[in-house]
């Protein structure tokens, strides 16, 4: 997306530009007066708008609308999901321990509502994929585990074999939560096909507004202890008056994302990576030998620091990132790359480039041209030659 100032945006994994469909839906919602919990005509109109958005979000992930709980975002959705208190088919079945992969988002690695001693980290391969052989061995330790594995990583774009993971988890009488924040709208996120019991998604990663997300359930798995109590909103799963405008925008973005053809994005990503390799053959593209999202590239050049390269890109009118937005305020080694066994010095140079549905060929060409200039300058500085 190119702004009026001529900038090129390559940080879609941090937040996607607001879709016009979402903007229009939010404007329409703001024109309404009423509380969705009220029984009068005004309240019913707002309630109907919310239920339409719920249907749209459910359709994105192949779920039943009644199993969609709106939250303030994916972090809250993750917190809601990561609790020992579960009911399965109407029976109380509390979870004994939480297992998370080593490459999860910080909101999952924090363990949710589990005590620290009850959270165990699962290893990943050098490609960033969960060690499937290690999973059943870990789950043997407890009777009723809860497992949380993201569908696609926010930094590398590496996609996890969730269907296989689900089979292992369910064979161990476990419940599987999947953080699908980065995957929704980019690859198949059908909750039933993947075999997930719970799935977190976020509005602003799809081109909806910030401040809205959802936890989606499948089957007979229910969360017995809400995170936010004090009201019967969201079928008792999340108290508090809903953010109707954001939810309406979320629903519109979900529909638009469902219809997006990501093959073009994948072709642009491949062109961009070819350009990076052409300019700097020594560049390391993380996760390039396994399945990745069609829009994400995380790469590094030995000896080049990410913060310097990102500033250089910014000065040239291009927005990129050093990793996940939640930790980009502090330049520090990526825990995701550390879990993959990447050398700390190389990891400190990791630059994330993420594309979206409105990224153009011209913007990719501009990125490659800029990288040629930036890399040449940085490599000269590293070797002690004046640029």
Question: pLDDT digit string (tens) for 90-134?
Answer: 899 999 999 999 999 999 999 999 999 999 999 999 999 999 999
Has residue 270 been placed in a domain? yes
DSSP, collapsed to helix, strand or coil, labels residue 215 as strand
d(CA 107, CA 332): 17
DSSP, collapsed to helix, strand or coil, labels residue 148 as strand
Question: Same domain, yes or no, for 281 and 316?
Answer: yes
DSSP 8-class letter at 1: -
Entry pTM? 0.94
Give yes or no: 189 in active site.
no
CA distances from 183 to 128, 157, 178, 296, 385 (A): 16, 9, 10, 11, 43
What domain count does the chain have? Answer: 2
The per-residue b/e assignment along 203-214, b for 16 or more CB within 10 angstroms, e otherwise, is: bbbbbbbebbbb
Question: Same domain, yes or no, for 345 and 228?
Answer: no
Q: Which residue has the higher pLDDT, 315 or 333?
A: 315
Mean pLDDT, rounded, for 157-162: 98
Question: Same domain, yes or no, for 184 and 331?
Answer: no
Q: What is the dihedral of CA 172, 177, 179, 180, to 10 degrees?
A: 90
Q: Which of 229, 258, 287 is the last residue of a domain?
A: 258
39 token code pair:
């029984």
d(CA 147, CA 176): 5
At residue 379, the pLDDT reads 87
Q: Which of 223, 258, 293 is the last residue of a domain?
A: 258
Q: What is the mean pLDDT of the chain?
A: 94
Has residue 3 been placed in a domain? no
Question: Same domain, yes or no, for 74 and 210?
Answer: yes
d(CA 133, CA 154): 24
pLDDT digits (tens, 9 = 90+) for 10-39: 999 999 999 999 999 999 999 999 999 999
CA distances from 325 to 102, 205, 331, 345 (A): 18, 12, 11, 20
At residue 5, the pLDDT reads 52
d(CA 350, CA 364): 19
d(CA 335, CA 106): 9
Has residue 356 been placed in a domain? yes
Q: Which of 311, 326, 344, 362 is catalytic?
A: 326
CATH of the domain at 367: 3.90.1150.10
d(CA 112, CA 129): 22
3-state helix, strand, coil in the chain (%, to 5): 40, 15, 45
At residue 196, the pLDDT reads 98
Has residue 104 been placed in a domain? yes
Q: Tell me which residue range forms the domain holding 46.
A: 20-258
Question: Same domain, yes or no, for 235 and 146?
Answer: yes
At residue 327, the pLDDT reads 52
At residue 107, the pLDDT reads 95
62 token code pair:
């192949």
At residue 242, the pLDDT reads 95
Has residue 2 been placed in a domain? no
Whether residue 260 contacts residue 357, with contact meaning beta carbons closer than 8 Å, is answered with yes
Whether residue 337 contacts residue 286, with contact meaning beta carbons closer than 8 Å, is answered with yes
Question: Same domain, yes or no, for 365 and 234?
Answer: no
Question: Same domain, yes or no, for 249 and 295?
Answer: no
At residue 4, the pLDDT reads 34
Mean pLDDT, rounded, for 64-74: 97
At residue 6, the pLDDT reads 87
At residue 260, the pLDDT reads 84
pLDDT digits (tens, 9 = 90+) for 132-155: 999 999 999 899 999 999 999 999
At residue 157, the pLDDT reads 98
Question: Same domain, yes or no, for 229 and 339?
Answer: no
Whether residue 26 contacts residue 246, with contact meaning beta carbons closer than 8 Å, is answered with yes
Question: Same domain, yes or no, for 274 and 249?
Answer: no
Whether residue 177 contacts residue 146, with contact meaning beta carbons closer than 8 Å, is answered with yes
pLDDT > 70? residue 325:
no
Question: Same domain, yes or no, for 310 and 226?
Answer: no
CA distances from 336 to 82, 129, 373 (A): 20, 11, 29
Question: Same domain, yes or no, for 366 and 353?
Answer: yes
Query: Percent of the chain, pLDDT > 70?
Result: 95
CATH of the domain at 244: 3.40.640.10
Has residue 1 been placed in a domain? no
Mean pLDDT, rounded, for 298-316: 94
Question: Same domain, yes or no, for 307 and 179?
Answer: no
Q: Which of 208, 232, 258 is the last residue of a domain?
A: 258
């Amino acid at each position: 997306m190119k702004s009026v100032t001529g900038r090129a945006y390559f940080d879609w994994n941090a937040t996607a530009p607001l879709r016009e469909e979402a903007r229009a839906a939010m404007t329409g919602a703001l024109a309404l007066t009423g509380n969705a919990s009220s029984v009068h005509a005004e309240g019913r109109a707002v309630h109907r708008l919310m239920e339409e958005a719920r249907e749209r979000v459910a359709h994105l992930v192949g779920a039943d609308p009644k199993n969609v709980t709106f939250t303030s975002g994916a972090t809250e959705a993750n917190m809601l999901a990561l609790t020992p208190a579960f009911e399965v088919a109407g029976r109380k079945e509390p979870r004994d321990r939480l297992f998370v992969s080593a490459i999860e988002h910080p909101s999952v690695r924090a363990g949710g509502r589990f005590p620290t001693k009850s959270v165990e980290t699962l290893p990943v391969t050098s490609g960033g994929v969960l060690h499937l052989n290690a999973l059943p061995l870990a789950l043997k330790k407890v009777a009723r585990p809860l497992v949380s594995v993201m569908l696609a990583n926010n930094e590398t774009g590496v996609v996890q074999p969730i269907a296989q993971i689900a089979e292992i988890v369910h064979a161990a009488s476990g419940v599987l939560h999947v953080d699908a924040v980065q995957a929704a709208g980019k690859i198949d996120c059908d909750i039933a096909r993947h075999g997930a019991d719970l799935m977190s998604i976020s509005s602003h990663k799809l081109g909806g507004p910030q401040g809205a997300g959802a936890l989606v359930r499948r089957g007979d798995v229910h969360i017995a202890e809400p995170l936010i109590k004090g009201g019967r909103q969201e079928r008792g799963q999340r108290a508090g008056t809903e953010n109707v405008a954001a939810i309406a925008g979320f629903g519109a973005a979900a529909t638009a994302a469902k219809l997006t053809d990501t093959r073009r994005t994948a072709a642009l990503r491949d062109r961009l990576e070819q350009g990076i390799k052409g300019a700097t053959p020594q560049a390391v593209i993380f996760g390039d030998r396994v399945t990745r999202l069609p829009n994400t590239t995380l790469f590094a050049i030995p000896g080049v620091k990410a913060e310097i390269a990102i500033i250089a890109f910014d000065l040239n009118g291009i927005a990129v990132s050093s990793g996940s937005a939640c930790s980009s305020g502090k330049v520090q080694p990526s825990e995701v790359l550390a879990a993959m066994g990447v050398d700390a010095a190389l990891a400190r140079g990791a630059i994330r480039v993420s594309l979206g549905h409105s990224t153009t060929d011209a913007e990719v060409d501009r990125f490659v041209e800029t990288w040629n200039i930036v890399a040449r300058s940085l490599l000269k500085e590293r070797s002690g030659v004046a640029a």
